[in-house]
Amino acid sequence: MLDINKIYQARERIKDVVVDTPLSFAPYLSHVSGCEAYLKKENLQVTGAFKIRGAYNKIATLSDAQKVCGVIAASAGNHAQGVALSASKFGIKAVIVMPESTPLTKVNGVKHYGAEVILAGTNYDEAYAYAKLYGEKNSLTFVHPFEDDEVMAGQGTLALDILDGCMDLDAVVIPVGGGGLISGMACAFKSINPKIEVIGVSAKGAPALKNSFDLKTPVDSLSVRTIADGIAVRDTSPITLGYMLDSVDKFISVDDEEIASAILFLLEKQKLVVEGAGAVGVAALLHNKLEHLKGKKVAVVLSGGNMDVTLLSVIIEKGLLKSGRKMKLTVTLIDKPGSLMRFTEILQLLNANIVHIAYDRTSISLDYGDANVTVHVETKGEEHQRAIYKTLKEENYIRD
């Protein structure tokens, strides 16, 4: 394990930079999961994620000569912002290499702190390879997002904060990408209270570290694909895997559907914007992946809140459709005056509010004189939708 003294030293270094984010009881999540759940809201941290902890601690420990030359990092966003802000605090140069698919909000967030951004590669690992070569060529110190003891020690301070707020925890649920966060936190928990169960949660679309943990040997993935871009790491770090095998009790994964539902749950029930990577722990509880925790006191880390608003709008739209609060209908009408009016009158009588309507008379699948009408309507659940469908079928708008 990491030396616990390193984590205490890191806490002292970063205390004037990081925010002591809330650890709050979550009554609705507790009710649906059966455990006593507390949310550690690192989505409210400076830069919107926990990464500032490790990045600042690492840069604070650099030599004067290294600081003069500057630093470089590779990141999908949160580590990038952490390094950029930390470098600005010390007045040193920072170059950040980000995958080409990085959401604009994260690119702009990095530039806001004065760092130079280079877009390279289709994923984190390709951006990482580019950054390593660029850093060596330009004498920049590479700040690794997880494979570094000073970075992991900084991330481990999050565990100390949680223990300050709740010493009698039974378990803690932590998002896992490269493994730096859980390695640092697990060291702190196991050093202070070994009885606390440390559980990691990754995205199924980025399975390398989960597979490696199960097999107890490093295994890389050929590719990654998940909405949780903050933990979309393709290759396994032998260093963090070693720490995890020593200190982590359980490791599970959740899929994108489960992650999306957790994002929407946190938005609606907790009034929190949490990115995919930060929502995986809540996804695990919501979808009964951790039933052994029922009746126990559990802390869940919300690791970040830098959510791409475009993706968030898609998640909300799909969530409304799945929960029966929105319905899409396409019907064929005779293209003559009054046809559309009669159709909309029926929807009005059924208390279905039209929020979007499209009229198409040119589709090659239509007979001449017909038109397709597609409507999006707000509904009040599956029972309401069945009633709408039944009435439209009786009125011959829908045919089997």
Alpha-carbon distances of 108 from 100, 103, 281, 361, rounded to whole Å: 13, 9, 27, 43
Do 280 and 201 contact (CB within 8 A), yes or no?
A: yes
Residues 82, 49: contact at Cβ < 8 Å? yes
Q: Classify each residue of 244-261 as buried b or exposed e, where b means 16 or more C-beta atoms within 10 Å of its C-beta.
A: beebbebbbbbebebbbb
40, 86, 303, 326: the active-site residue? 303
Q: Strand 297-302 relative to strand 71-74: parallel, antiparallel, unpaired? A: unpaired
Output b/e per residue, 371-386; b: 16+ Cβ within 10 A.
bbbebbbebeeeebbe
CA pair distance 162, 253, nearest whole angstrom? 23
Which neighbouring-strand residues pair with 202?
253
Which H/E stretch holds residue 23?
strand 23-25
User: Is 88 an active-site residue?
Assistant: no
Could you give the 3-state DSSP secondary structure of residue 95? strand
Q: Which residue in 113, 135, 155 sits closest to 66, CA to CA? A: 135
CA–CA distance, 202 with 386 (Å, rounded to integer): 37
Which residue among 6, 41, 51, 58 is the active-site one? 51
Long-range contacts of 395-400 (CB under 8 A, 24+ apart): 395/346, 397/331, 397/333, 397/343, 397/346, 398/329, 398/331
Q: Are 103 and 229 in contact (CB under 8 A)?
A: yes
Q: Annotated catalytic, 51?
A: yes
Just list the catalytic residues.
51, 303
